[in-house]
């Protein structure tokens, strides 16, 4: 706490990240963590649910134990109530003052360029992945070659779904603005999906806007959590030099991969 307190004010924006729904975490422990973070008064506090995948669940069990009960929804409600005097920027971050802080760049920028080894970019409907191996990445840069070693291509509807999730995660979507930006008709393209969200009480329509309800905010936290959990698989694939050896280019979307089955990791990728 003392180190964090001294760091406050050095940078224009200071954010504290917390993880909740840890195995064995009690409500009292959660509230204590929230109280400490709040008393430190950083500009932003972000509360991530524990993200487990097939790749990480065993390590989590070994280091933190096994969850007897899943308290994610209950704890999320406690967090939102605790920070009701803060501005909620998106599903899991809260700012001390009303501003445009947003810890998730994917929800405020439809396209982004990643720089550095292992970085991701999303441009023109494609997810591009830079080389993870530092030596390979450095070689690509020194030789002025493209450092992308893999890509995933998405069709228009998939892009609309992705951007819808990243925007509604912030709590609200202006329909006309969304349609103009993506040159689409959101309510037509995602009619079934929006009907399901409205019927379940996750979103409401207010004039020209779709707004996430209290339940909806939690639902979109779960979906964003699953999105990032899925990226664990991508990272695992591209960190393994043996699986990438002699593969010039990989289209991850065409690969049938099971992280628990080593045989499925043997790529048959097309050379670009």
Q: What pLDDT is attached to residue 103?
A: 53
Tokens 């050095």, residue located: 10
Per residue, the 3-state secondary structure of 172-221, as one string, reads EEEHHHHHHHHCCCHHHHCHHHHHHHHHCCCEEEECCEEEECHHHHHHHH
For the segment 164-182, what is each residue's pLDDT rounded down to a tens digit?
999 999 999 999 999 999 9
For the segment 5-64, what is each residue's pLDDT rounded down to a tens digit?
888 888 888 899 999 999 989 999 999 999 999 999 999 999 999 988 776 777 788 887
For the segment 181-233, what is each residue's pLDDT rounded down to a tens digit?
999 999 999 999 999 999 999 999 999 999 999 999 999 999 999 988 887 77
For residue 107, name the pLDDT band (cuts at 50, 70, 90).
low
For residue 269, name the pLDDT band (cuts at 50, 70, 90).
very low
Q: Which of 227, 251, 234 is nearest to 162 (CA)?
A: 227
For residue 151, pLDDT beyond 90? no
* Distance of alpha carbon 117 from alpha carbon 126, whole angstroms: 18
For residue 123, pLDDT beyond 60? yes
* Distance of alpha carbon 90 from alpha carbon 58, whole angstroms: 30
Give the contacts of 21 (CB within 8 A, at least 6 positions apart). Answer: 49, 50, 67, 70, 71, 72, 75
Q: Are 80 and 217 in contact (CB under 8 A)?
A: yes
Residue ranges of domains in the chain, CATH in brackets? 2-103 (no CATH), 104-272 (1.10.10.920)
Q: What pLDDT is attached to residue 105?
A: 55
């Amino acid at each position: 706490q003392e180190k964090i307190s001294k760091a406050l004010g050095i940078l224009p924006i200071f954010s504290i990240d917390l993880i909740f729904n840890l195995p064995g975490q009690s409500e009292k422990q959660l509230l204590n963590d929230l109280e400490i973070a709040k008393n430190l008064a950083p500009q932003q506090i972000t509360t991530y649910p524990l993200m487990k995948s097939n790749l990480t669940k065993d390590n989590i069990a070994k280091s933190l134990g096994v969850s007897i009960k899943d308290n994610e929804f209950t704890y999320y409600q406690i967090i939102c109530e605790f920070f009701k005097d803060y501005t909620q920027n998106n599903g899991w971050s809260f700012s001390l003052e009303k501003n445009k802080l947003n810890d998730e760049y994917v929800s405020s920028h439809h396209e982004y360029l990643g720089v550095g080894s292992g970085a991701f970019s999303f441009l023109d409907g494609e997810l591009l992945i830079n080389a993870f191996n530092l030596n390979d990445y450095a070689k690509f840069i020194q030789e002025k070659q493209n450092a992308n070693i893999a890509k995933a291509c998405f069709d228009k509807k998939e892009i609309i779904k992705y951007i819808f999730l990243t925007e509604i995660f912030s709590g609200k979507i202006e329909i006309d603005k969304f349609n103009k930006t993506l040159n689409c008709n959101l309510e037509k393209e995602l009619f079934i999906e929006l009907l399901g969200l409205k019927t379940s009480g996750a979103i409401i329509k207010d004039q020209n806007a779709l707004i996430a309800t209290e339940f909806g905010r939690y639902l979109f936290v779960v979906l964003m959590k699953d999105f990032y959990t899925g990226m664990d698989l991508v990272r695992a694939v591209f960190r393994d030099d043996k699986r990438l050896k002699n593969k010039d280019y990989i289209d991850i979307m065409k690969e049938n991969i099971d992280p628990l089955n080593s045989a499925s990791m043997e790529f048959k990728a097309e050379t670009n």
